[in-house]
Chain A
Amino acid sequence: GENVEQHPSTLSVQEGDSAVIKCTYSDSASNYFPWYKQELGKRPQLIIDIRSNVGEKKDQRIAVTLNKTAKHFSLHITETQPEDSAVYFCAASWTGNQFYFGTGTSLTVIP
């Protein structure tokens, strides 16, 4: 099955700086790549996603890039704010039936 690796596992940035989280996947058939944000004690929430026919997608301060050849995708958060502090998960799916998740990145934004 698919294997998704996520780095780094923890990330600390100063408020206003950018944060980048990277994921790699193994199955070249994967074609849908969502990112989730999970605050402490809460459910994961979808924040952005990208499909394999697109190289980049942006939504305000959040962007995701996809490199199909290298089988990796990244989450970029610009102008970070303390409320961006959370655990972020990447995932990969090729059928929409099964989603394979990375192990998460704990982001801390220091005021």
Chain B
Amino acid sequence: DAGITQSPRHKVTETGTPVTLRCHQTENHRYMYWYRQDPGHGLRLIHYSYGVKDTDKGEVSDGYSVSRSKTEDFLLTLESATSSQTSVYFCAISERTSGSNEQYFGPGTRLTVT
């Protein structure tokens, strides 16, 4: 597996509390992504980053914010968690070159909002 870690791996939180998930990579890849995975929906992009301090929204960005102050770290924040944000969150990285834009996933974070 590519050098990607996510923390925490499991979290239970209450509605209305802020939550931050961390993705850390040791591959020095330029692109980083946050997805959520829900039954029947596959993987949906929340936000992505194409460099330090460069981020953009994905298809399900409402209620989420991100930050990337270093190449290796990409943080996902739920400002005020809701039950609809209960999901499995995956971070991914890629390095788009002329020959490849393969994407590799982290181990995932299971978030439960009660």
The residues of A with any CB-CB pair to B shorter than 8 Å are 1, 6, 32, 34, 36, 42-46, 49, 89, 91, 93, 96-104
Contacts and interface: CB of A to CB of B under 8 A. Distances in A.
B44 interface: yes
A43 B105 contact: yes
Contact of B104 (A32, A46, A102): A46
Interface of B: 1, 31, 33, 40-45, 48, 50, 56, 58-59, 90, 94, 96, 101-108
Given A43-B90, A44-B43, A103-B41, A93 B101 contact: yes
B50 A97 contact: yes
A43 B108 contact: yes
A103 B41 CA distance: 5
A102 B43 CA distance: 8
Contacts, number: 50
Contacts of A101: 42-44
Contacts of B58: 98
Nearest to B108: A43
A97 B43 contact: no
8 pairs of A and B residues whose beta carbons are closest in the complex: A96-B101, A96-B96, A43-B105, A101-B43, A103-B42, A101-B42, A44-B105, A104-B42
